[in-house]
Amino acid sequence: MISFTQIISLITALGIGSGIGIVIKSILDRNSELKFKLKTINEEKYRTILIYMSIVINPQNKAHFILNDNILYGLKNDTDIRDYALSKLNEYYYQSLLYASDDVMLTFKTFLAECSRENYILTAQKMRQDLWNNKTNLTIEDI
């Protein structure tokens, strides 16, 4: 009777073991690539959300950022700029249901209810944790 180790040796000799290894490596590489793409997409969305939040807090901040948003840059009145940025944030809020963590959603909702620098920073911190799994000890006063 053939022992288990002899069967393993035979499989390895036939190259099946290396074939299985290649398939497993391919699956792991694909999963890693998908995670990287998702993180990149989230980072871009979070960056855009933070820009609109900054504009809601101070409409003159729009001059400091570059967005592909011709409507925003066509607006001159601070109230119109703020209202438009807030409408974009409401749109992003519902889109965020697809990709943002629970903590990001809760702080984002808090910001929409009360647009303040403190809520902006809290949301940014949760986004940072979501993207990079970084815990932070920074307080609002530190920033």
Listed by start position, the domains of the chain span: 39-132
| Long-range contacts of the stretch 138-142 (C-beta < 8 A, 24+) | none
Q: What would the pLDDT profile of 10-59 be if each residue is shown by its tens digit?
A: 667 666 666 767 777 777 778 788 888 888 888 999 999 999 999 999 99
Count of CB atoms within 10 A of residue 107's CB?
21
Instruction: With beta carbons less than 8 A apart as the criterion, state whether 72 and 62 touch.
Output: yes
Q: What would the pLDDT profile of 62-76 be if each residue is shown by its tens digit?
A: 999 989 999 999 999
